[in-house]
Amino acid sequence: MQIYFAGPLFSQAELRYNERLTQRLEAEGFGVYLPQRDGFEKDNPANKMMTPEERGQAIFQLDKQHVFACDIFLFVLDGRVPDEGACVELGLAYCQRELEGRKRLLIGLLTDRRSAFPRGELNPMVCVPLDDVVADEETLLDKLRQYQIIGNGDY
């Protein structure tokens, strides 16, 4: 099963966390598309010839392709607010599932207590499309194993 790994990827801490969690997922037998590792390479010499607009378009198209191809959409929700790019990716994954009837698990991982909303709630535009939000990696792995066993069936 293929996982699209969505979430913040701009600080060294975020990059290290994403890579470590990806290694755990891959050790469990999941394929993982991690944009920071597998996505558009800004430092590729051919890509340096692109304008910023062309690079943005290339990043969007590549990530969209992988969102549409995934069996599981994993959204790391940590941060004061969820990453805005990952919110768009969630919207793409949810819309495709709704419009095409595609079986796909949309799951969030929220280990961060910070929140822009009262009582630590997520914005409904983020939490409603998700099938589940878990609070730790062990629960996440349990849910993913369960989904893997039932195989794209009703979750």
What does the pLDDT look like over 108-155, one tens digit per residue?
Answer: 999 987 765 555 678 889 999 999 999 999 999 999 999 988 865 555
CATH architecture observed for domain 2-150: 3-Layer(aba) Sandwich (3.40)
What does the pLDDT look like over 5-40, one tens digit per residue?
Answer: 999 998 999 999 999 999 999 999 999 999 999 998
pLDDT of 117 reads: 56
Q: Residue 32's closest CA among 16, 20, 41, 43?
A: 20
Give the separation between CA 111 and CA 113, rounded to whole angstroms: 7
**Residue type for position 40:** F
Question: Could you tell me how many helices (H) and strands (E) the chain has, helices first?
Answer: 7, 5
* pLDDT, the chain, mean: 91
Whole-model pTM above 0.85?
yes
pLDDT of 7 reads: 96
pLDDT over 80 at 76, yes or no: yes
pLDDT of 42 reads: 61
pLDDT over 80 at 87, yes or no: yes
Q: Regarding beta strands 31-33 and 2-6, do their DSSP bridges make them parallel or antiparallel, or are they unpaired?
A: parallel
pLDDT over 60 at 4, yes or no: yes
**Residue type for position 25:** L
